[in-house]
Amino acid sequence: MLNIPAKIATIILLSLTLSACAGTSFGDLFSNYSQQMQGVKNAQQQGNFQQAVSLLPERSKSNGSYGLSLLEKARLEFLANNHTESQQDFALVYRQVQQAEQAAKIQLSRGIENVQAVVSNDNAIRYDIHYYEQSMLHCYQALNYLNQNDLSGALVEIRRANLVQQKALQANQKALYETQEEMTKKGVSSESLASRYPSMSNAIGEVKNGFQNAYTFYLSGVLYEAAGQANDAYIDYKKALEIYPHNITVQRDVWRLATKLGMSNDIQLFGNRFSSDITQGTRQNTSEQQNSTKHGQLVVLVEQGIIPGKQEVSIHLPIFTSHNDMRFYSLALPNYQNRLRQYSGLSLSYQGNTYQSQEIVRLQSLAAKQLQDEMPAIVTRQVVRLVAKEELRQQMSRKGGDVGNILAGLYNIASEKADTRSWSTLPDSIHILRLDLAPGQHEVDLSINGTNRTITVDINEDRQTLVKLTSIGSYTNYQSMNL
């Protein structure tokens, strides 16, 4: 008696699965992205970047996570010093971002994706590159250009990074209000969600939003100075200072250019705010430099660790069904661990003096804040999905009897997966350090994460020498560029 209904139920379930998989792979739909990336990150941790690239899951251009895969690959190629390949992949992602922005204006493709997500989970939706990820994309692309001695190309990318943050600032408040309102209409209050969803306050720290990145502004200032555009550099150093007000390196650079450009109002303002070490000695000089009127600058960018991935958590919320009955449902949601790893930073020794780097961005904090701001929209989709799945289960129970009910229940359980996608190969923390040195060759001692090494840098008069230092697990290496 159950043969025909069972077949009907199976066909319905299969068609739903195929529909949901149309824009994504079966593995992406039913597995955890953070878990998929674990082998990649293990290889990255050991400095085996080409092996890490080979471990990336293959995805077609139609896959909703294709752009994210390109980001992961481009970052790993960058670490492997394959700057041409990295540059090409980042350029592809940038084109995808532009296309997605155009598509968002008509909302057609996203509407189709949302229908697929209703019967599966958020992994069926195309992954939108977050603003903080876009700004980092352009920073790495700028460094790719610098490795090819193309300062003008690097400046184009850094302007794009700054434009991303401007657009995000304009869109952020409106989007937050709209998603909060939509969630409330679905019967879930902010208070109810906050009382059940695990806190990320320690991970978020003091960041105000998930997109303002002091590192991109600081790098922008360095490049503008290299191009002889001191006024533009000063503007961006001040933006970096606004986000990271206690960073001594940024304070020194703001004071240095304020005095150089004769910014009398700012000199008075910052003169009261900064320490006398900064205002009475306008630059961080070595003992050798104090006896010389000529100098260049050593700028060190220090990347540490790998950003933690999202994890899946389950919470129970009271939700009204399509028949207006209130029931408690279990929601699978993404979350970040509520702690920040501590990094000692870089200690640079030169001629008996030691200089310490300071943090300019904690990417985990930006990512956690971004997720917190997204949570109302994520929960709203989950509520719609749960109500739709419950309606589907009831229909299959009527048409397929016990078999239909069981199959629908199993599908609902299997497909209830949190979307843990994010750019997982980014560094966790970035520090900066700047030092004035006399023109010529210098040996400096670097100590970071228990690793010590001596490097030689070439300093040119009134120019910047940029050193990008990467410390990931057991791997430590650097690149040096004269700007």
For residue 135, give every residue at least 6 positions away whose Cβ sits within 8 Å of its Cβ, in sequence order, or none.
Answer: 161, 162, 164, 165, 211, 213, 216
What mean pLDDT value characterizes the chain? 85
Tokens (6 digits) for 1: 């008696």
Calpha distance 65→165 (Å, rounded): 23
Other C-beta atoms closer than 10 Å to the C-beta of 288 total 16
User: Shortest CA distance to 299 belongs to which of 212, 207, 224, 213?
Assistant: 224
- pLDDT tens digits along 127-172: 999 999 999 999 999 999 999 999 999 999 999 999 999 989 888 7
pTM for the full predicted model: 0.88
pLDDT band at 183 (very low <50, low <70, confident <90, very high): confident
Place of tokens 């939003």: 209
For position 297, what pLDDT does the model report?
96
Q: Burial letters for 449-477: b for 16+ Cβ neighbours within 10 Å, e otherwise?
A: beeeeeeebebeeeebbbbbbbbbeebbe
Of the CA atoms within 13 Å of residue 371, those in its CB half-sphere come to 29
Work out the average pLDDT over 271-282.
Answer: 85
Give the Cα-Cα-Cα angle 46, 477, 55 (nearest 5 degrees). 35
pLDDT band at 319 (very low <50, low <70, confident <90, very high): confident
Domains of the chain, start order: 3-482 (1.25.40.10)
pLDDT band at 105 (very low <50, low <70, confident <90, very high): low
Residue 407 has pLDDT above 70, yes or no: no
Q: 3-state DSSP call for residue 279? A: helix
C-beta separation of 258 from 266 below 8 A: yes
Q: Which residue has the higher pLDDT, 307 or 125?
A: 307
Distance of CA 84 to the CA centre of its chain: 22
For residue 436, give every residue at least 6 positions away whose Cβ sits within 8 Å of its Cβ, in sequence order, or none.
Answer: 283, 284, 285, 286, 289, 295, 296, 297, 298
Q: Which residue has the higher pLDDT, 5 or 95?
A: 95
Q: How far apart are the first and last CA of the chain?
A: 79
C-beta separation of 335 from 198 below 8 A: yes
For position 112, what pLDDT does the model report?
41
For residue 293, give every residue at least 6 positions away whose Cβ sits within 8 Å of its Cβ, in sequence order, or none.
Answer: none
Give the Cα-Cα-Cα angle 275, 297, 293 (nearest 5 degrees). 80
For position 280, what pLDDT does the model report?
85
For position 103, what pLDDT does the model report?
72
For position 111, what pLDDT does the model report?
45
The DSSP-derived string for 116-145 is HHHTS-GGGSPPPPPHHHHHHHHHHHHHHH
Of 85-89, 239-243, 355-359, 402-406, minimum mean pLDDT range: 402-406
pLDDT band at 287 (very low <50, low <70, confident <90, very high): very low
Give the Cα-Cα-Cα angle 358, 360, 361 (nearest 5 degrees). 130
Work out the average pLDDT over 104-133.
Answer: 67
Residue 17 has pLDDT above 60, yes or no: no
Work out the average pLDDT over 76-105.
Answer: 91
Helix intervals (H) in 333-464: 363-415
Of 86-90, 264-268, 396-400, minimum mean pLDDT range: 396-400
pLDDT band at 6 (very low <50, low <70, confident <90, very high): very low
374, amino acid identity: E
Over pLDDT 70: what percentage of the chain? Answer: 81
Of 3-17, 333-347, 358-372, 390-404, minimum mean pLDDT range: 3-17
Over pLDDT 90: what percentage of the chain? Answer: 63
